[in-house]
Amino acid sequence: MVADEGTPLSPLEQEIFSWQYDVSGFGLEGQLRLKQATVMISRCGGLGGIVAYQLAAAGIGRMLLAHAGSIRPSDLNRQLLMTRDGIGTSRMDSIVRRLQDLNPDLEVIPVAENVSPSNADRLVSQVDVVVDAAPLFEERHAMNQAAVRFNKPMVECAMYELEGHLTVLLPGQTPCLHCLYPEPPASWQRRFPVFGAVSGTLGCMAAMEVIKLISGLGKPLAGELLSFELGDPSFRRFRIRRNETCRVCGHLAETCD
């Protein structure tokens, strides 16, 4: 497909993304929506880093990326935006460099801190879609509260060993994170066993949900939780429901399904 004259996509961009144009239901209009969108990703490690890399490849226009700290050797089995020669240096510097090597047209808003109650509103309010790939439940809840407050879709993903879990949270239409987990699950661990291929699988699926939310392609994974297990590979989907008395999103009860 050839873009019309006057499109904000350069001839090189048109060529780079030409294979996507031909996906049914996407087209140039979908590509332009990606270019005009801003996506926030909380933590760009094994999971969020893959989301960011796929979205940079797909032509998202702006990304607000939150991730603190320096690269450690133990990051490198899964955090593909980090490199061995960067051990001990800023993760965010590496993240920005690697994304812009792939897509120099990408505008990155780097935030070298993790999401917290003190910055969540300021960060979430600036973006169109939020991706939650944080390892701490406190970060997840802070982002969930801000996403509900500012009515932003949140792609929620988590992993453990060979398992991945994914859903799209739409304020007022689906459960929020607090509906699902008022308290952190008993099994939740800050450090957990995982392969990069598992976080990468989940990251690619989460990136696809972002692309769908922004472009209107397909049907978002909303109101259902997709869980996969790659040991004896299986993918299953579970219906999930709102808690109408949820202290975070219960006030949106008039739109309960």
* Residue ranges that bind Zn ion, judged by CB under 5 A: 176, 178-179, 246, 248-249
Number of residue whose CB is nearest Zn ion: 246
Q: Minimum CB separation from Zn ion for residue 130, in Å? A: 15
- 8 A C-beta contact, residue 84 and residue 38: no
Nearer residue to Zn ion within complex by CB, 97 or 251: 251
If residue 55 lies in a helix (H) or strand (E), which one and from where to where? helix 48-58
Q: Minimum CB separation from Zn ion for residue 1, in Å? A: 41
Helix, strand, coil percentages in the chain from 3-state DSSP, rounded to 5: 40, 20, 45
Nearer residue to Zn ion within complex by CB, 35 or 242: 242
Q: What is the DSSP letter of 205?
A: H
Token reading at 47:
């999971």
Separation between Cα atoms, residue 49 and residue 103, nearest integer Å: 14
Nearer residue to Zn ion within complex by CB, 108 or 158: 158
Nearer residue to Zn ion within complex by CB, 90 or 243: 243
Q: What is the DSSP letter of 73?
A: G
Q: Minimum CB separation from Zn ion for residue 226, in Å? A: 19
Q: Minimum CB separation from Zn ion for residue 126, in Å? A: 23
